[in-house]
């Protein structure tokens, strides 16, 4: 049985204790694909509240972007960093976690003035037992100054940058209104690697118009571009999104669980052994889910099914 390298096992081996990634959703951030800088409306599947439970609590009226001159939200944002980290620590410490990574997850977490980013990232790192950062962002939204800063931080901290790759097919990226092409992601990953940063790539299986061969080609390309870690997600349809309209008009058929698992296993089979798998599925357990229904199953059930099928293929996760 071949053991798949997980993020938890990587961190535990490196730091000797259990390390938990704490998702943060800091109010005031937006995304260039939502605010009109790149496009409006965002990716067709995006209802950002569905990615992180903290987002809905932190909706601010002023959104930051790179052209913001001043940031009137900074004090409130710094307080959110501290309170969200400490809230999660209270939850995870009793479970045996001793160290933490602050995961800037919701929206585009490099899409703000450099001064703001520097303050927020360093605030997170000042918190006790926070040993590093993971920054979720888009490939078209990371300035050189941010890469330089993260690279400097990585000399003394565990620093990750997470890019949404989703697909390497430009026709798919256009169809989901991604706002950048595959070349842009390839260049961003390679650039981050030149700065010595750890890169996690996100892939979505089941995007409109894609067959299994295309999904696997995206995985293969992501490995070749030099990612250190990967998150696999199925595409699911959330109500009140552009994708929901496409689904309701019958223009898009969601991926079935069996096909998803089969694709996942094939993607893992072709994956270099040193790549760390951070996620093998995703779902949403509330009534905002429109389809496919299996994405509304409990995390335990889905992980059970996936682990069972991985075991049949000779993998332990």
Beta carbon nearer to ligand SF4, 62 or 270: 62
Residue 46 interacting with ligand SF4 (CB under 6 A): yes
With CB under 6 A as the contact rule, the residue among 25, 31, 188, 227 that binds ligand SF4 is: 31
Which residues on neighbouring strands pair with residue 203, listed in sequence order?
166, 232
Determine if 132 is a binding residue for ligand SF4 (CB under 6 A). no
Strand partners, 229: 200, 276
Q: Which stretch binds ligand SF4 (CB under 6 A): 20-28, 38-46, 142-150, 222-230?
A: 38-46
Query: Given the rule CB under 6 A, which of 40-48, 70-78, 151-159, 217-225 is the region that contacts ligand SF4?
Result: 40-48
> From the CB of 141, what's the least distance to ligand SF4, in Å?
8
The minimum distance between CB 35 and ligand SF4, in angstroms, equals 9
Q: How many residues bind ligand SF4 (CB under 6 A)?
A: 11
Which of residues 22, 48, 162, 277 is near ligand SF4 by CB under 6 A? 48
The residue with its CB nearest to ligand SF4 is 42
Three-state helix/strand/coil letters over the chain: CEECCEHHHHHHHHHCCEEEEEEECCCCECCCCCECCCCECCCCCCCHHHCCCCHHHHCCCCCECCCCCCCCCHHHHHHHHHHHHHHHHHHHHHHCEEEEEEEECCCCCCCCCHHHHHHHHHHHHHCCCEEEEEEEECCCCCCHHHHHHHHHHCCCCEEEEEEEEECCCHHHHHHCCCCCCHHHHHHHHHHHHHCCCEEEEEEEECCCCCCHHHHHHHHHHHHHHCCCEEEEEECCEECCCHHHHHHHCCCCCCCCHHHHHHHHHHHHHCCCCCCEEEECCCCCCCCCEEECHHHHCCHHHHHHHHHHHHHHCCEEC
Q: Which stretch binds ligand SF4 (CB under 6 A): 28-36, 189-197, 198-206, 250-258?
A: 28-36
By beta-carbon proximity to ligand SF4, the closer residue of 99 and 208 is: 208
Closest distance to ligand SF4 from the beta carbon of 107 (Å)? 5
- Token reading at 217: 């080609």
Tell me which of 63, 97, 100, 107 binds ligand SF4, using CB under 6 A: 107
CB of 233 to ligand SF4, least distance (A): 11
Residue 213 has which token pair? Answer: 């061969």
| Contact flag: residue 111 with ligand SF4 (CB under 6 A) | no
Binding residues for ligand SF4 restricted to 155-194, rule: CB under 6 A = 164
Cα 120 to Cα 116: distance, rounded to the nearest angstrom: 6
Nearest residue to 62 via CA among 24, 36, 26, 27: 27
Contact region with ligand SF4 (CB under 6 A), list: 26-34, 240-248, 257-265, 284-292: 26-34
CB of 62 to ligand SF4, least distance (A): 17
- Near ligand SF4 by CB under 6 A: residue from 20, 27, 33, 35: 33
Shortest distance in whole angstroms from residue 170 CB to ligand SF4: 16
**Which residues contact ligand SF4 (rule: CB under 6 A)?**
31, 33-34, 42-43, 46, 48, 107-108, 138, 164
């Amino acid at each position: 049985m071949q053991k798949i390298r997980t993020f938890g096992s990587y961190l535990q081996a490196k730091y000797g204790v259990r390390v938990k990634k704490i998702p943060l959703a800091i109010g005031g951030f937006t995304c260039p694909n939502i605010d009109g800088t790149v496009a409006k409306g965002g990716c067709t599947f995006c209802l950002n509240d569905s990615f992180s439970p903290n987002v809905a609590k932190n909706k601010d009226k002023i959104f930051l972007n790179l052209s913001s001159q001043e940031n009137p939200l900074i004090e409130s944002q710094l307080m959110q960093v501290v309170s969200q980290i400490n809230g999660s620590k209270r939850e995870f410490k009793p479970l045996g976690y001793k160290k933490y990574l602050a995961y800037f997850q919701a929206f585009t977490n490099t899409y703000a003035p450099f001064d703001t980013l520097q303050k927020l990232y360093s605030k997170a790192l000042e918190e006790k037992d926070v040993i590093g950062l993971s920054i979720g962002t888009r490939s078209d939204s990371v300035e050189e100054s941010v890469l330089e800063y993260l690279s400097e931080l990585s000399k003394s901290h565990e620093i990750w940058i997470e890019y949404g790759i989703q697909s390497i097919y430009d026709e798919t990226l256009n169809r989901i209104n991604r706002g950048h092409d595959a070349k842009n992601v390839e260049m961003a990953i390679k650039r981050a690697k030149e700065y010595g940063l750890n890169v996690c790539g996100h892939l979505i299986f089941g995007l409109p118009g894609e067959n299994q061969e295309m999904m696997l080609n995206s995985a293969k390309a992501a490995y070749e571009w030099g990612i250190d870690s990967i998150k696999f997600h199925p595409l699911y349809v959330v109500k009140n999104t552009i994708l929901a309209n496409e689904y309701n008009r019958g223009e898009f058929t969601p991926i079935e669980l069996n096909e998803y698992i089969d694709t996942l296993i094939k993607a893992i089979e072709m994956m270099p052994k040193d790549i760390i798998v951070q996620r093998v599925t995703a779902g949403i357990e509330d009534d905002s889910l429109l389809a496919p229904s299996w994405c509304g199953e409990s995390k335990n059930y889905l992980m059970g099914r996936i682990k069972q099928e991985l075991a049949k293929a000779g993998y332990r996760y």
